[in-house]
């Protein structure tokens, strides 16, 4: 570990010189890339330098204890040595966590897709509940939400809804939400009061740029059609809605929320890029899974990850076995306790993989 830390510090010092070089600063893209690398390394280097300083204090105090004859000075040296000895293992543990490779997508914005699954109208209503929950969580985090595509049902639910979330560290917080969410409750449409089980599927995709995933324009088929649903007078009068089909994979991306066909095409392209990027990401993740299995970070859409049990007021995440008994608060967007626990579990799993 310490050899790795020495290498990181050496690279950090090289970068410190490079990012101050006027020739490098003139090359904007290269400079920004180096600045990000430098910024990512800063917490590790600062913590390592703190470790080395305390280690030096420990050695100096130990030497003083062994050589000093004055009792008062010996007592002072002993206190300093014991304090340093106590701090070193704590900082060592922090360094282990800091050295875990960061997910390169953590700082990205996301496109979130929610689809009603098994359960008909009740599943669509639950999809609407989840959309509201993530919208309120985003509001708490001061993130911005833009709806890209929606297919509403008559009772106010969603067969599907796609939306983009932009802000600081969005993917790092929402990436563990991908999977099947199960609800157990008495539907409003159920007169006999029987509890029904329904599901909705959530997919969280990092937003990617052109340079990260290249799409051949000849591989895309574009269809335009008239928007449907809420939207004002322009609905059904102009063909502004866009459907893009990626011919090699058959992946389809749609957007109909904007008045402009051009804007809808741009959003649909973002969605398409994110879906294609997810396929590549899953391939990489499955290769990593051969080396280490992290149940938390699998992000498999077919995996049942969470149950919302209304009669018990309980939300249970099946990956980490955590139950929270604050249903109303949770559905009003207070997700941090759950998300923090998922992040901690994933970090612990990844740490095992590094050992």
pLDDT digits (tens, 9 = 90+) for 27-65: 888 898 898 889 888 888 999 899 899 998 889 888 888
pLDDT given at position 37:
83
What's the pLDDT at 235? 46
Q: What pLDDT is stored for residue 233 in this prediction?
A: 39
Two structure tokens written together for 118: 């098994």
pTM over 0.85: no
Q: How far apart are CA 121 and CA 154, in angstroms?
A: 9
Q: What percent of the chain has pLDDT over 70?
A: 87
Task: Return the structure tokens found at 31.
Answer: 């400079």
Closest CA to 199 of 127, 319, 117, 132: 117
Spatial neighbors of 155 by CB under 8 A, at least 6 apart, are: 121, 124, 125, 189
At residue 222, the 3 state secondary structure works out as strand
Q: Are 251 and 213 in contact (CB under 8 A)?
A: no
Q: What is the pLDDT of residue 77?
A: 86
For position 298, what pLDDT does the model report?
Answer: 45
Query: In which residue ranges of the chain is pLDDT below 70?
Result: 188-192, 210-212, 227-239, 258, 284-302, 353-355
DSSP strands (E only) in 193-318: 196-206, 220-225, 241-246, 251-255, 304-309, 314-317
Domains of the chain: 2-98 (no CATH), 110-354 (3.30.70.1660)
Which distant-in-sequence residues (6+ apart) come within 8 Å of 95 by Cβ? Answer: 1, 5, 44, 47, 48, 51
Query: pLDDT at position 249, please?
Result: 85
Angle between helices 71-98 and 336-354 (to 10 degrees): 100
Per-residue pLDDT at 291: 44
Other CB atoms within a 10 A radius of the CB of residue 140 amount to 12
What ranges in 104-247 are assigned the alpha helix state H? Answer: 120-140, 170-174
pLDDT of residue 230: 45
Long-range pairs of 332-337 with CB within 8 A, sequence gap ≥ 24 = 332/133, 332/136, 333/133, 333/134, 333/135, 333/136, 333/137, 333/138, 333/139, 333/140, 334/137, 334/140, 335/133, 335/137
What percent of the chain is predicted at pLDDT more than 90?
A: 29
Give the pLDDT of residue 289. Answer: 53
* Structural Rg of the chain based on CA atoms: 26
């Amino acid at each position: 570990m310490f050899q790795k830390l020495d290498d990181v510090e050496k690279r950090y010092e090289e970068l410190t010189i490079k990012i101050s070089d006027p020739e490098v600063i003139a090359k904007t893209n290269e400079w920004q890339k180096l600045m990000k690398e430098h910024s990512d390394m800063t917490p590790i280097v600062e913590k390592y330098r703190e470790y080395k300083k305390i280690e030096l204090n420990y050695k100096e105090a130990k030497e003083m204890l062994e050589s000093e004859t004055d009792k008062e000075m010996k007592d002072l040296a002993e206190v300093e040595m014991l304090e340093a000895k106590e701090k070193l293992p704590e900082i060592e543990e922090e360094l282990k966590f800091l050295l875990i490779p960061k997910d390169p997508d953590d700082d990205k914005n996301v496109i979130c897709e929610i689809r009603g699954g098994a359960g008909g109208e009740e599943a669509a209503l639950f999809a609407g509940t989840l959309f509201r929950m993530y919208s309120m969580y985003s509001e708490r985090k001061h993130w911005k939400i833009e709806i890209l595509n929606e297919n509403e049902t008559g009772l106010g639910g969603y067969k599907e809804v796609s939306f983009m979330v932009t802000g600081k560290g969005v993917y790092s917080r929402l990436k563990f939400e991908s999977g099947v969410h199960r609800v157990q409750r008495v539907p409003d449409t159920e007169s006999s009061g029987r509890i029904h089980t329904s599901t909705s599927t959530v997919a969280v995709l990092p937003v990617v740029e052109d340079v990260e995933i290249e799409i051949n324009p000849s591989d895309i088929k574009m269809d335009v059609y008239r928007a449907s649903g809420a939207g004002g007078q322009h609905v059904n009068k102009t063909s502004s809605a866009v459907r893009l089909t990626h011919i090699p994979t058959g992946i389809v991306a749609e957007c109909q929320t904007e008045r402009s066909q051009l804007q809808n095409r741009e959003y649909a392209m973002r969605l398409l890029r994110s879906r294609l990027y997810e396929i590549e990401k899953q391939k990489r993740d499955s290769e990593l899974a051969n080396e280490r299995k992290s149940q938390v970070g699998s992000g498999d859409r077919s995996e049942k990850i969470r149950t919302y049990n209304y009669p018990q007021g309980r939300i249970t995440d099946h990956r980490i076995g955590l139950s929270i008994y604050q249903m109303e608060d949770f559905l009003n967007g207070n997700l941090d306790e759950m998300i923090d626990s998922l992040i901690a579990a994933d970090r612990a799993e990844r740490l095992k993989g590094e050992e």
